[in-house]
Chain A
Amino acid sequence: MISLSRRSRFETRSNLSKIRAVPALSVMAGSMLTALPFIANAPLMPPFGLMLFLAWRLLQREIWHPWAGVALGLFDDMWSKQPPGTAMLLWSVAQTLIAAGDQRALWRDYWQDWVISSVLVAFVLSASLGIANLTGGHTHWLVIVPQIIVSILLQPLVMRLCGFLDQWRFT
């Protein structure tokens, strides 16, 4: 019974497109959260697009094409108001770093995933700050520390959301 339903599941086109589209669409939705109609006084909103991007990658090894960081990063740049190209570059770098780590590591579990994503989120946010300052700002690094902490604390929730979406896309 199960094998029968599974076969029919992969034969229908709509389900296949759902399986393929859900990860990318969820990351894009995360990037668009910054376009919500709130005018923020301080950088406090976590980079949900990046967090989802990393969580999917850590959950499923081969979920992204090698160029996914570039494409999804470009989309993120549309909304984040960073100098365009920031996320294109940094997301690709983050993706490459995870791949390099995976080649060396024998195993990793939930705690390692959390540490990896925390380090990468902190890295990308700090580098984004540097790039933003390159184009005329003089923001001190301490200003983004609360944002980094909030992001790290929310990462398990994002990973749980990814796990839920991963199950849902196959139904």
Chain B
Amino acid sequence: MAPQTSRRPGFSRRAQFSLFIGYIVAVLGALVGALLIVTAHFDPEGHNAVRAFLGDLASPFSSAGRAAVRGVAGVGDSVGAYINAGAKNRAMQTELQAARTQLIAGENAIHENARLRGLLKLAQTETGPVVAARLISSSGSNSRRYAMIDKGVLQGVVSGEPVRSVDGLVGQVVQTGAISAQVLLITDTGNVVPVRRATDDLTGLSTGNGDGLLTIHALVAGVSPFKPHDILVTSGAGGLYPPGIPVAVVISIGREGAIARPLADPEQLDFALIERPFVAPLPTPTTITAKVKKKKPKVDE
């Protein structure tokens, strides 16, 4: 096909002028884009404000999409539930009986737990979750690993708060809009989580690989002391992430450290809990030397 150009507007002044303005707008727009990128580097706060605004604009669409998907899935469930109502009723009756006995056993365990904690003089440092949110979308075509949640400043979400699910640690809130917030997942390459092995106090730092896996760098020199099938939990070092949240399970030993798979799979995730940032208790003089070795978790930007 021979290129035929009719971009040349001919002798019409008006056409020439509007074409010229079009090019000016294009160049200015591209420059504004470049400027926005540069501000991301030099003025993260202003940049995050722009991001949060755009995120707020996008979040209702994502929420609606999520609701639609659930709605379609729900229709089948309700029809099935209607057909199975009788059998289900009987099953639930027996389940209820079993649950009652378990409830009593559970209450007993709570009392025993409190008594043992008192015995060990463990402080109850955990605070309840700030808010439960739904993960509505993610950066599927982007090299960074962000997920969007449908709660924002209006619901009390603050930037920097850790996000977890029932299964384990999800990430950290990095920027909040009015009705949405961005969560930096632990699989992102810019997210560092201090972890320790669940069975002993072997500590390490976990960073994302960007492909859904984590690399665990041990804090001791030499060959990685982690073994496959090791369960890693947050160590709480440096604050932010409360200690004891399950993070990942080691699957292999790589060149730069152990490769681990996160326990909370964001693909399967629906709801997440946003918690208050953990404030590490002040170290007593004897533990100061031990604490110095541990790096602070890197807060994104």
Contact = CB atoms under 8 A, between A and B. Distances in A.
Interface of A: 32, 34-48, 61-62, 65-67, 69-71, 73-74, 77-90, 92-93, 95, 102-103, 105-109, 128-129, 131-140, 143-144, 147
B265 A61 contact: no
Interface of B: 1-7, 19, 22-23, 25-26, 29-30, 32-37, 40-41, 44, 47, 50-51, 54-55, 57-58, 61-62, 65-66, 69, 135-148, 182, 187-190, 207, 209-212, 265-267, 269, 300-301
A147 B137 CA distance: 18
Contacts of A109: 1
A89 B30 contact: yes
30 contacts: A35-B65, A38-B138, A39-B269, A40-B138, A40-B140, A41-B145, A41-B267, A43-B140, A47-B141, A65-B22, A65-B26, A66-B25, A67-B22, A69-B30, A70-B25, A70-B29, A70-B32, A71-B29, A73-B29, A74-B33, A80-B142, A83-B47, A85-B34, A92-B26, A131-B40, A132-B142, A137-B144, A137-B189, A138-B189, A143-B209
Contacts of A85: 32-37, 40
Q: Is the interface of B mostly helix, strand, loop or mixed?
A: mixed
A81 B142 contact: yes
A87 B137 CA distance: 19
A53 B197 CA distance: 49
Given A35-B58, A43-B141, A137-B144, 20 more contacts: A37-B136, A38-B137, A39-B137, A41-B145, A70-B25, A74-B33, A78-B54, A81-B138, A81-B142, A81-B182, A82-B144, A84-B36, A84-B54, A89-B30, A90-B33, A128-B143, A133-B189, A134-B40, A136-B300, A143-B143
B271 to A, nearest CB: 12
Given A67-B25, A77-B54, A38 B140 contact: yes
B143 A132 contact: yes
B188 A39 contact: no
Nearest to B182: A81
Residue of A77, A89, A106, A137 contacting most chain B CB atoms (<10 Å) = A137
B181 to A, nearest CB: 12
Contacts of A70: 25-26, 29-30, 32-33
A5 to B, nearest CB: 25
A136 B51 contact: no
Residue of A36, A73, A134, A143 contacting most chain B CB atoms (<10 Å) = A36
B37 A108 contact: no
B33 A73 contact: yes
B26 A88 contact: no
A131 to B, nearest CB: 6
Given A70-B29, A82-B142, A41 B211 contact: yes
B134 to A, nearest CB: 9
